[in-house]
Amino acid sequence: MSFGDPNNPYGQQPPQGQPGYGYPQQAPQGIPPQGGYAYPPQQAPMGYPAGPGGYSGAPATMPGLMMTARVLLFIVAGVQVLIGVFAMFGAATINDASNMASDSVGSNPFSTVASASAGVVFILALVFLGLSALSITLGVKFSRGGQGIRITTMVYGILGALVGVLALIGSASADSTAALIWALLWIGFGGTMAAAMIAPSGAAWFGRPRY
Q: Is the pLDDT of residue 61 over 70?
A: yes
Cβ-count burial 186-199 (b if 16+ within 10 Å, e if not): bbebbbbbbbbbee
Count other Cβ atoms within 10 Å, centred on residue 166: 12
Entry pTM? 0.67
Instruction: Give the pLDDT of residue 44.
Output: 45
Asked if 142 and 62 count as a contact pair (C-beta separation under 8 A), the reply is: yes
Using alpha carbons, select from 137, 93, 136 the residue that is nearest to residue 115: 93
Instruction: Give the pLDDT of residue 129.
Output: 95
- CA-to-CA dists, residue 106 to 93, 103, 111, 112, 116, angstroms: 18, 6, 9, 11, 16
Instruction: Give the pLDDT of residue 109.
Output: 72
More confident residue, 60 or 192: 192
More confident residue, 174 or 139: 139
More confident residue, 51 or 150: 150
Instruction: Give the pLDDT of residue 207.
Output: 86
Range with lowest mean pLDDT among 73-87, 148-162, 172-186 = 172-186
pLDDT digits (tens, 9 = 90+) for 110-119: 777 878 888 8
Instruction: Give the pLDDT of residue 4.
Output: 53
CA distance 81 to 100: 29
Q: Is the pLDDT of residue 101 over 80?
A: no
**Per-residue confidence at 208, pLDDT binned at 50, 70, 90?**
confident
Please, what's the largest Cα pairwise distance for the chain? 136
The mean pLDDT value for 28-45 works out to 50
Q: Kindly report the backbone phi and psi dihedral angles of residue 163, in degrees, each rounded to the nearest multiple of 5, phi listed first.
A: -60, -40
Instruction: Give the pLDDT of residue 50.
Output: 45
Determine the angle formed by the axes of helices 64-105 and 177-198, rounding to 10 degrees.
140
Range with lowest mean pLDDT among 2-6, 72-76, 154-158 = 2-6
**Per-residue confidence at 51, pLDDT binned at 50, 70, 90?**
very low
Could you give the residue ranges of the DSSP H alpha helices within the chain?
Answer: 64-105, 109-140, 147-174, 177-198, 200-206
